[in-house]
A = this chain, B = another copy of it.
Amino acid sequence: MSDRRETSAASRGRASAGRAAYHHGSLREALIDAGEQLARSDGLDGVTVRRIAAACGVSAAAVYRHFPSGDHLIAAVAQRAREIMARDMFARLDTAAGKPAIDRLREVGESYIAFALAEPRLFSLVSMPMTTPPDRLDDPNAADLVRNIVLELEPPGEVDEVRVAGRMMLAQSSAHGLALILRDFVPDPQVREMLIAGVLDRVGVGLEA
């Protein structure tokens, strides 16, 4: 009976949770981890309650001690994916500090698209409508990041909220749509690069208008 716990608990957690694992240690995090891996490899269809539970060496019903439904677990994995992507984007922004706002905005767009193409299946979760509100509203959020840069494009003194919203939406819509179309319909990497450059050039023009 203890073998099951050992095989799964040994691979993860344990060290992070002070002493030896409690019933499981911290199953909630483990479930999200497993879900992330499953999403990476098998896509959204592969992310199922039973498979995630099995990957943690735990029965399916155990999931419901930590999430009110399977959809909530998926949503948590999606939130995790958004955090990963946000980290990517922030890291890339650090290397571009000092550049003009419009260039940094382009970096963000490129980063967003690059993530979608590097992790196409995980990206499906990123772009899922969020059924459950994120646990922490204060951590790195892609939308806020875009907003902050867009604000720099505003003429000093007065910020027109409508204009800000329009610019944000142009940036987000074009990056999001382009990422999806490239991922699903344009396999050739060279063509992808060409289209990314072509679109982002024009978006830049539109953003400054």
Contact = CB atoms under 8 A, between A and B. Distances in A.
Nearest to A204: B206
A99 B197 CA distance: 30
Interface string A162-173: 110111011011
* Interface of chain A: mostly helix, strand, loop or mixed: helix
Contacts of A205: 205-206, 209
A198 to B, nearest CB: 3
A195 B170 CA distance: 9
Classify chain A: how many residues form its interface, as a range: 20 to 34
A164 to B, nearest CB: 10
A173 B197 CA distance: 13
Interface string A181-207: 100110000000011011101111111
Contacts of A162: 194, 198
A166 B129 contact: no
A151 B170 CA distance: 23
Q: How many copies does the complex hold?
A: 2
A165 B202 contact: no
30 contacts: A127-B180, A165-B194, A165-B198, A166-B194, A166-B198, A166-B201, A166-B202, A167-B198, A167-B202, A169-B181, A169-B195, A169-B199, A170-B198, A170-B199, A173-B173, A173-B174, A173-B177, A173-B199, A174-B174, A174-B177, A176-B177, A176-B180, A177-B177, A177-B178, A177-B180, A180-B180, A202-B207, A204-B206, A205-B206, A206-B206
Nearest to A184: B129
Nearest to A174: B174
A194 B164 CA distance: 12
A163 B207 CA distance: 19
Contacts of A201: 166, 209
A32 interface: no
A53 to B, nearest CB: 21
